[in-house]
Amino acid sequence: MDRIRIVGGAHLEGVIPISGAKNAALPLMIASLLTEDTVVLENVPRLADVSQLKRILSNHGVDFAVRGRRHGETELDGETITLNAKTIVDTTAPYELVSTMRASFWVLAPLVARMGHARVSLPGGCAIGTRPVDFLLNVLEALGAHISIEGGYVVATARLGLKGGHIKFPKVSVGATHTALMGASLADGETLIENAAREPEVTDLAELLIKMGAKIEGAGTSTIKVTGVSTLHGAEHTVIPDRIETGTFALAVAMAGGDVTLQNTRADLLDSALETMRQAGAHVDALPNGIRVYRNGNGLLPVEVTTEPFPGFPTDLQAQFMALATRGQGTSKIRETIFENRFMHVQELARLGARIRLEGDTAYVDGVDKLTGAPVMATDLRASVSLVIAGLAAEGETIVNRIYHLDRGFERLEQKLSRCGAQIERISG
């Protein structure tokens, strides 16, 4: 099993290109099930989750083509993928495929919307909380589908098609909002979605659906109106930059010190996180095509963070920010309100010398003078990269084990960091 070896202490200098957003690319790929025509997606990241979703969609009959590299492109540029779901050959998504990646459960909505029936295994994914699928099933029931659970599978039927309805979420849910948008786009009549997720990835999906002929108003706000259409057509779309990758590399620079330009990204995708970094002592400048992050010599300050739905501080940067807080000159307070089990990285950061105490949904991080390298083990995607960030600033060698989590969400992490001077390498076997 692969590991990552880091020798800490090097400042980061240079340019890091940011990939397309995994959390946008996955629902965009799934949306191809809604039409018989071809959907072309540009800037798709080369990730394990994307490859797995290709296998899942292929099982339903989706044909794929990946455009070869063009002049001037490098291995760090995203892929262009062509998807065609002209013929759906199977409306079952089996356990052995869905159990490896939670987002694949979202195929349920477009399959029911287009075919009138779907049978999808209950999902797997990172073990960071229960993350129930109730909201997603409630969406389909609100659109007229009949839902049953049979042998670990969700069976959804709408023989006469989905019908427009009123959906009001008791709690903001990105996955449920994705489900509502895809289902309502082909539903008969108007659907009103209240307390909708406002994340950029939701807006990106809405923009693709609009290009495909959907009638959607209010995406990016908490109230979305969808007027269903009978069919959707093909479209071309570019995946937005990955705001979590952007924030992760920004925090890595703040942690290790140095001066790095994050290229092909947008500051407006994570204003809250960048402002928190400024409060902690990092310098962050928005650029026309990216973000400059630098910290040269000044110490890090303690801050208070509460994870919230967009536009608040993202839960997917909580672990990375905790790594930064371990070197703060004082006590930082980090409250996790989205996922109840998302502090599993705490005990691994402690192996590097971090001082963290947990009280319910809140972590209190007492900054230390130094971290010391040690073998650590990744527990989930974001926790694993927090250990990489900590290792960049630790004295000596850090070995991060079980890095298959990293490959699910970060494209060529070690290459991007090593290009900027980090002493980091992948060890195979």
Q: What's the pLDDT band for 125 if we cut at 50, 70, 90?
A: very low
420 is catalytic: no
- Tell me whether residue 23 is annotated as binding: yes
Residues 32 and 84 sit within 8 Å (Cβ to Cβ):
yes
Q: What's residue 71's pLDDT?
A: 61
Residues 210 and 182 sit within 8 Å (Cβ to Cβ):
no
Is pLDDT of 124 > 60?
A: no
Largest alpha-carbon pair distance within the chain?
A: 66
Q: What's residue 99's pLDDT?
A: 83
- As a whole number, the mean pLDDT across the chain is 93
Written as one string, the DSSP assignment of 79-125 is EEEEEE-SS----EE-HHHHTT-GGGGGGHHHHHHHHSEEEEEPP--
Q: What's residue 405's pLDDT?
A: 84
Task: Delineate the domains of the chain, giving CATH numbers in brackets.
Answer: 3-19+241-427 (3.65.10.10), 22-238 (3.65.10.10)
- Tell me whether residue 316 is annotated as binding: yes
How many Å apart are CA 263 and CA 335, to the nearest integer?
A: 30
Q: For 157-211, how does the pLDDT look when each residue is reduced to its tens digit (9 = 90+)?
A: 999 999 999 999 999 999 999 999 999 999 999 999 999 999 999 999 999 999 9
User: What residues are paired with 118 via a beta bridge?
Assistant: 156
- Tell me whether residue 172 is annotated as binding: yes
Q: For 17-55, how does the pLDDT look when each residue is reduced to its tens digit (9 = 90+)?
A: 999 999 999 999 999 999 999 999 999 999 988 999 999
Of 18, 44, 126, 212, the catalytic one is 126
- Non-local (6+) Cβ contacts of 73 within 8 A are none
- Tell me whether residue 102 is annotated as binding: yes
Q: What's residue 128's pLDDT?
A: 35
In this structure, the dihedral spanned by the alpha carbons of residues 143, 148, 149 and 154, taken in order and rounded to 10 degrees, is -40
- Model pTM? 0.94
Q: What's the pLDDT band for 131 if we cut at 50, 70, 90?
A: very low
- Tell me whether residue 22 is annotated as binding: yes
Contacts 24+ apart (CB under 8 A), 55-58: 55/97, 56/93, 56/97, 56/98, 56/101, 56/104, 56/107, 57/29, 57/30, 57/32, 57/33, 57/83, 57/85, 57/107
Return the minimum-mean-pLDDT range out of 177-181, 332-336, 380-384: 380-384
- Tell me whether residue 303 is annotated as binding: no
